[in-house]
C-alpha cells in the first residue's frame, strides 16, 4: 500500500504545473477562452509535442499506455489552472471509445492522429429528454443497404463545435432507455444533413447541439446493439478524470481563499483571525481532503479492478458535487464583494466546479445509484467483501 506517484508520474505533474504557470495566468486564460472554440490550437500542439495526448492510449497505437493514476495526475493539474483545452472530449471520450470499441483499421487510422494533435473529436450521447440517464436515446439508426443512416438530435456535445469527427450513440433496437440496442457510430462532422449549433458553457468551453437528418455514418464502433458495454467503462474513466480535474480546481480555489483571508484586513486585523471564518475554512479544507481520499480510493480500485471500484467511483462523484458547491460558495462569501467580480478568477473556478457536478450525472443522481448498489439485498455479500478489502 502506498499513495506515492512514480517518477514518471511526478514528471508529468511537474511539466503540466510548469505549463500552467507559464500559460494560464488570469489574463492568459481569458484570452484562450475568447478564441474561436474556447481553446488554443497552439496549446493543443504543445500538448501533442509533450506527449500528453498519448497518455491513455495503448502502446501499439503510439500511445503511452497509461492507467487511471496517470490520467488522474494530468487532469488534476489541468484543474488547478482551469486549462480549457478539450482533453476530456477529444482524448478521453472520443479517443477512449475508439480504443475500447473500434476495429483495428479505425484505431490505426485515428488514434495516431489524435496523439499527433491533428484530430479533434467529441462524443454525442445526450438528448433533450435524457437528463442524466445515458441510455435514454431516441436518435435512431437504420441499416439502409449496408449503410447506417442516423436521425435525431444530440445536445450538450462537449467540443462539438471544433470536432472533425463525432461518435454518436443511436438506437438500433429496443425501447428508449434500454441498455441493449444502443449502437455507436463514427460520423464526420461535415456530413450532409448534420447541423450544429454551438454555444458556450459558463466555464468557457464550447458545446454544440447537433441535429441529424438522414446522416450517413462513416463506420460502426463495436457491434450493433452493444454500444452500452463500450460506453460504460469509457464514461466511468471519464467520471474519474473529471473528479481529478475538480480536485485540482478545489485545491487551487481553497488556496486562493485562504490567502485572501490572511491578507484582507478589516477592523484592523486579517479576517482570517476571526473564528467564524476559521471554522468555515476548516470545513472547506476537510471537504477537499475528503475528495482527495475518495479519489485515491477510486483510482486504486479502478487500477486493480477491485470489487470496491464501482462503489468508490459513485461515492467520489457524489462527494465532488457536494464539496464543489461548498468550496465554491465559501470562496465567494469569504472574498466578500470581490468574490462577485470578474476581476478575480474565483468565479471561474466556481463555474467549473458547477459544470463538473453536472457532467455524467450530478451528486443526487450518483447518490441514488450508490444507494441502489449498497442497499440491494444481492449486494450484501459483495459489499461485505469490499468492506474487508
Partner 1 sequence: MHTRLSEEDLAFQSEVRAFLNEAWTKELAATCNNRATMKEGLVEWQRRLYKQGWMAPHWPVEHGGTDWSVTQSFIYNLERASAGAPEAIPFGVTMVASVIIAYGNDEQKARFLPRILKSEDWWCQGYSEPGAGSDLASLKTRAELEGDEYVINGSKIWTTYAQYADWIFCLVRTDSSGRKQEGITFLLIDMNTPGVTVRPIDTIDGFHHLNEVHFDNVRVPVANRIGEEGKGWTYAKSLLVHERLSIAEVADSKRALAQLREEARQEVNGGTSLLQDPLFAKRLTDIEIDLMALEFTELRALASIAEGKEPGPESSLLKLQGTEIQQAIQELRMDVAAYYSGTLQGELSAEALGHDYADSAQKSYFRGRASSIYGGSNEVQKNITAKYVLGL
Only segment of 156-164, 175-183, 327-335, 376-384 that touches partner 1 (CB under 8 A): 376-384
User: What DSSP designation does 148 have?
Assistant: E
Displacement of CA 200 from its chain's centroid (Å): 16
Q: Could you tell me the smallest distance in angstroms from the CB atom of residue 327 to partner 1? A: 14
Of 167, 160, 154, nearest to 126 by C-alpha is 154
Cα separation, 169 vs 180, whole angstroms: 12
In the list 14, 195, 213, 387, the residue contacting partner 1 (rule: CB under 8 A) is: 387
For residue 132, state whether it binds partner 1 (rule: CB under 8 A).
Answer: no
Q: Could you tell me the smallest distance in angstroms from the CB atom of residue 378 to partner 1? A: 12
Cα separation, 347 vs 335, whole angstroms: 10
Cα separation, 138 vs 169, whole angstroms: 10
Contacts of 60 (CB under 8 A, 6+ apart): none
In the range 338-367, which residues lie near partner 1 by CB under 8 A? 367
CA angle 39–41–43, rounded 5-degree value: 85
x-or-dash pattern for partner 1, window 307-326, by CB under 8 A? ----xx--x--xx-------
| C-alpha distance from residue 347 to each of 26, 212, 257, 321 (Å) | 12, 36, 12, 16
For residue 75, state whether it binds partner 1 (rule: CB under 8 A).
Answer: no
In the list 4, 105, 190, 305, the residue contacting partner 1 (rule: CB under 8 A) is: 4
In the range 17-56, which residues lie near partner 1 by CB under 8 A? none
Cα separation, 207 vs 249, whole angstroms: 21
For residue 294, state whether it binds partner 1 (rule: CB under 8 A).
Answer: yes
Q: Could you tell me the smallest distance in angstroms from the CB atom of residue 146 to partner 1? A: 47
For residue 258, state whether it binds partner 1 (rule: CB under 8 A).
Answer: yes
Q: Could you tell me the smallest distance in angstroms from the CB atom of residue 309 to partner 1? A: 12
Cα separation, 280 vs 334, whole angstroms: 9
For residue 272, state whether it binds partner 1 (rule: CB under 8 A).
Answer: yes
Q: Could you tell me the smallest distance in angstroms from the CB atom of residue 168 to partner 1? A: 34
Contacts of 95 (CB under 8 A, 6+ apart): 56, 57, 111, 114, 121
Interhelix angle 68-80/227-263, nearest 10 degrees = 40
For residue 377, state whether it binds partner 1 (rule: CB under 8 A).
Answer: yes
| Beta carbon nearer to partner 1, 132 or 296 | 296
Only segment of 24-32, 39-47, 140-148, 286-294 that touches partner 1 (CB under 8 A): 286-294
- Residues forming the site for partner 1 (CB under 8 A): 1-5, 9, 69, 258, 261-262, 272-273, 275, 277-279, 281-282, 285-286, 289-294, 296-297, 299-301, 303-304, 311-312, 315, 318-319, 367-368, 370-371, 374-375, 377, 383-384, 387-388
Amino acid at each position: 500500500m502506498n499513495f506515492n506517484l512514480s517518477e514518471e508520474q511526478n514528471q508529468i505533474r511537474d511539466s503540466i504545473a510548469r505549463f500552467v504557470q507559464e500559460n494560464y495566468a488570469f489574463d492568459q486564460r481569458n484570452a484562450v477562452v475568447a478564441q474561436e472554440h474556447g481553446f488554443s490550437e497552439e496549446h493543443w500542439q504543445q500538448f501533442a509535442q509533450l506527449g500528453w495526448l498519448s497518455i491513455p492510449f495503448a502502446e501499439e497505437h503510439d500511445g503511452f499506455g497509461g492507467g487511471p493514476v496517470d490520467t488522474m495526475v494530468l487532469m488534476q493539474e489541468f484543474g488547478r489552472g482551469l486549462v480549457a483545452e478539450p482533453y476530456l472530449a477529444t482524448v478521453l471520450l472520443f479517443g477512449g471509445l475508439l480504443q475500447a470499441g473500434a476495429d483495428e483499421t479505425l484505431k490505426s487510422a485515428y488514434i495516431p492522429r489524435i496523439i499527433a494533435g491533428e484530430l479533434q473529436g467529441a462524443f454525442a450521447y445526450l438528448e433533450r429528454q435524457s437528463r442524466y440517464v445515458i441510455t435514454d436515446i431516441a436518435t435512431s439508426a437504420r441499416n439502409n443497404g449496408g449503410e447506417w443512416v442516423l436521425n435525431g438530435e444530440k445536445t450538450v456535445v462537449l467540443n462539438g463545435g471544433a470536432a472533425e469527427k463525432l461518435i454518436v450513440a443511436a438506437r438500433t433496437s429496443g425501447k428508449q432507455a434500454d441498455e441493449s440496442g444502443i449502437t455507436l457510430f463514427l460520423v464526420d462532422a461535415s456530413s450532409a444533413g448534420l447541423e450544429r449549433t454551438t454555444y458556450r458553457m459558463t466555464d468557457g468551453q464550447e458545446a454544440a447541439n447537433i441535429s441529424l437528418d438522414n446522416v450517413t455514418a462513416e463506420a460502426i464502433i463495436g457491434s450493433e446493439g452493444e454500444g452500452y458495454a463500450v460506453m460504460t467503462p469509457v464514461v466511468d474513466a471519464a467520471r474519474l478524470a473529471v473528479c481529478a480535474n475538480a480536485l485540482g480546481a478545489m485545491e487551487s480555489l481553497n488556496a486562493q481563499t485562504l490567502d485572501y483571508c490572511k491578507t484582507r484586513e478589516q477592523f484592523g486585523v486579517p479576517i482570517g483571525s476571526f473564528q467564524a471564518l476559521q471554522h468555515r475554512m476548516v470545513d472547506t479544507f476537510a471537504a477537499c481532503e475528503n475528495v482527495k481520499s475518495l479519489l485515491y480510493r477510486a483510482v486504486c480500485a479502478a487500477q486493480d479492478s477491485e470489487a470496491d471500484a464501482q462503489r468508490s467511483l459513485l461515492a467520489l462523484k457524489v462527494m465532488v458535487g457536494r464539496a464543489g458547491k461548498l468550496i465554491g460558495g465559501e470562496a465567494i462569501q469569504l472574498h466578500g464583494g470581490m468574490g462577485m467580480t470578474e476581476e478575480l478568477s474565483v468565479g471561474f473556478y466556481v463555474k467549473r466546479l458547477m459544470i463538473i457536478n453536472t457532467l455524467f450525472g450530478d451528486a443526487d443522481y450518483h447518490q441514488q445509484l450508490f444507494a441502489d448498489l449498497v442497499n440491494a439485498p444481492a449486494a450484501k455479500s459483495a459489499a461485505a467483501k469490499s468492506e474487508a478489502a
